[in-house]
Chain A
Amino acid sequence: MNTIKIGTGELSLVLFEKSEKEFLSNLPDAFKKCLFPTLTDAEITKELVKAYKKYGKSANKPNTKKTK
């Protein structure tokens, strides 16, 4: 399945193909609360950002930044 386990449920990997901002805004607030029922809004965002960093579209891309 193209999903990842997170909180009390799972999310489609399709969501992670968007930018971080879109990823966060595409998830309904009520759904976020269901995923993390015991966390505050700020803590929920932190958890989602952590997931995005791991599975998001830039997660596995090579670092192309030039180093001196």
Chain B
Amino acid sequence: MIIGEVNCSSKKGNVGRPACAVKLDHLVGLILTFDGFEIPNAKLGSFADMLEYLQKATLASGKDRVFYIPKIFGNEDTTPDPEVKQSGYGFTVKIDEKPHQFNIELEDLGIKFYQNLRKFKDRKDMRMYWIDTTFIGGQQTSTGLKGFECTFMPKQVKVGIKGGDYTMYKAELQLEDTMALSDKLSTVLFPENFDLSVEMGGILDVELTATGGSGIVTVKAKTWISRTPLYNLYADALAVAGAWVVRDASTNAIVTPTGVAKDTVNEGWAISLSAGTYNITLASPSALEALHVGSLTSGGYESNIVTATVTTQ
């Protein structure tokens, strides 16, 4: 088990363990997850196993997916002071600690990135792993290491005033458990000179466009933000039936195309289908990764759904 020596919990009340420091300016990233996700004990046998598990989870579907937010800086602790309750004689009888609150500034990754972050706003089922310069922090359970319950609220963008100014992308992070960064913090130390932002990616959105024709649909794909045609990167890898999910638009039943081919003229892919209307999307990020479209370290791809009508040939 690689969960650490840096675990600050102490059942006997002993104090003074020297390795318990958590510093806000050491927070360099977050891994956001949903309730139910944890790194199981079986994957905490070695750092490599744990890393691979997290990398795969960046390409998973639904609530099993983790979202890695690299490069956090400009943190500010806005945690309210504890509420001190006193007896009638003026003695302190109770101290109510408040949830940790931080204002964090994120790397300027553009408008679409921020638009996606807004999807986390107001969600009550979010958790986060604390990424320090030297460790990943979470809460140890009997079955694994899970993130701390949190709310992640992107704040209004502070637009740069003139050329050369950075537009500031800020968010408010609240850890609901007042003991998250002390008693309950369990850590896994990074190997020396390890940079998680190099080893973990995320999902890139892909915009598909489709044109129906006689016996075929021609599909083109571009990354949403940088507008890079996927054809330039994966023309051959995507020329297989397994790279696409085709559904009958009226019944939603999965349809197997009779063929898929690279379309060198249109710089896209031709999907051969019988007459009908279809909803087409790229296969899941993990299925694409198996086809070498994307990778565990650089991230994967997920597309919108396009509809196209095929006429009789």
Interface residues of A (CB under 8 A from B): 1, 3, 7-12, 14-15, 26-31, 33-35, 37
Q: Are A7 and B261 also in contact (CB < 8 A) when A14-B256, A31-B215 are?
A: yes
Q: Are A3 and B241 also in contact (CB < 8 A) when A31-B270, A31-B272 are?
A: yes
Complex contact B313–A12 (CB within 8 A) = no
- Of A1, A11, A30, the residue contacting B214 (CB under 8 A) is A30
How far is A7 from B269 in the complex, measured between Cα atoms in Å?
Answer: 13
Residues of A within 8 A of B256 (CB): 12, 14
Q: Is B99 an interface residue (CB 8 A)?
A: no
How far is A33 from B262 in the complex, measured between Cα atoms in Å?
Answer: 10
- Of B214, B240, B242, B259, the residue contacting A35 (CB under 8 A) is B259
Residues of B within 8 A of A31 (CB): 215-216, 259, 261, 270, 272
Find the A residue at minimum CB distance from B261.
A9
Q: Is B19 an interface residue (CB 8 A)?
A: no
Most buried by A among B239, B272, B313: B272
Residues of B within 8 A of A7 (CB): 261
How far is A6 from B263 in the complex, measured between Cα atoms in Å?
Answer: 14
Apart from A11-B258, A27-B215, A31-B216, list 16 A-B contacts with CB within 8 A.
A9-B240, A9-B261, A9-B269, A9-B270, A10-B239, A10-B241, A10-B260, A12-B257, A26-B258, A28-B272, A30-B213, A30-B214, A31-B215, A34-B262, A34-B263, A35-B261
Residues of A within 8 A of B262 (CB): 8-9, 34
Complex contact A14–B259 (CB within 8 A) = no
- Of A27, A29, A37, the residue contacting B259 (CB under 8 A) is A27
How far is A33 from B236 in the complex, measured between Cα atoms in Å?
Answer: 16
How far is A11 from B264 in the complex, measured between Cα atoms in Å?
Answer: 17
Find the A residue at minimum CB distance from B213.
A30
Complex contact B261–A28 (CB within 8 A) = no
CB-defined A-B contacts under 8 Å, sample of 8: A10-B261, A12-B256, A12-B257, A28-B214, A29-B214, A29-B215, A33-B265, A37-B264
Complex contact A30–B270 (CB within 8 A) = yes
Complex contact A30–B258 (CB within 8 A) = no
Q: Mark contacts of B252-285 with chain A using CB atoms, 8 A cut-off: 1 yes-contact digit, 0 otherwise.
A: 0000111111111100011010000000000000
Complex contact B265–A37 (CB within 8 A) = yes
How far is A30 from B270 in the complex, measured between Cα atoms in Å?
Answer: 8
Residues of B within 8 A of A14 (CB): 256, 258
How far is A29 from B260 in the complex, measured between Cα atoms in Å?
Answer: 13
Complex contact A34–B257 (CB within 8 A) = no
Most buried by B among A3, A11, A26, A28: A28
Distance to closest chain A CB from B311 (angstroms): 10
Complex contact A3–B215 (CB within 8 A) = no
Find the B residue at minimum CB distance from A28.
B215
Q: Are A28 and B264 also in contact (CB < 8 A) when A11-B259, A12-B241 are?
A: no
Residues of B within 8 A of A3 (CB): 240-241
Residues of B within 8 A of A26 (CB): 258
How far is A7 from B260 in the complex, measured between Cα atoms in Å?
Answer: 10
Residues of A within 8 A of B263 (CB): 34
Q: Are A30 and B239 also in contact (CB < 8 A) when A9-B261, A11-B258, A35-B259 are?
A: no
Residues of A within 8 A of B214 (CB): 28-30
Within 8 A of A (CB), among B205-249: 213-216, 236, 239-242
